[in-house]
Amino acid sequence: MIIKVSVICYVIVILMSPGMIFYPYYRLIDKLPTVMFKPLGGCLMCFTGQAALWTYLITHFHNYNFFDHAFFISACIALVMLIDKIIDYE
């Protein structure tokens, strides 16, 4: 699940680049205050953390564990940072 969330978030943020399919959404959220802009897609790590937070809550509603939740969010953010480094490596 960590890999799925991280890859999906990475691809969504890439598709918010100018000329891509989600660019109109990016222009829409760009008008928001920073505290809302970043978690909604303006920052790769913030967006991934937000997606991971809600994904875990939705999928583990009946058997919630705080430390597993914190690990899930942290692992998703770390993996998306690694993916970003690997893709941008020159």
| pLDDT (tens digit per residue) in 49-74 | 999 999 999 999 999 999 999 999 99
Kindly give, in sequence order, each residue whose CB lies less than 8 Å from that of residue 22, ignoring residues fewer than 6 positions away. Answer: 12, 15, 16, 41
| pLDDT (tens digit per residue) in 3-46 | 999 999 999 999 999 999 999 999 999 999 999 999 999 999 99
Residues constituting the chain: 90
Helix (H, G, I), strand (E, B) or coil at 62: coil
* Angle, alpha carbons 81-60-26 (nearest 5°): 45
Looking at residue 88, its pLDDT comes to 83
Domain boundaries, the chain: 2-88
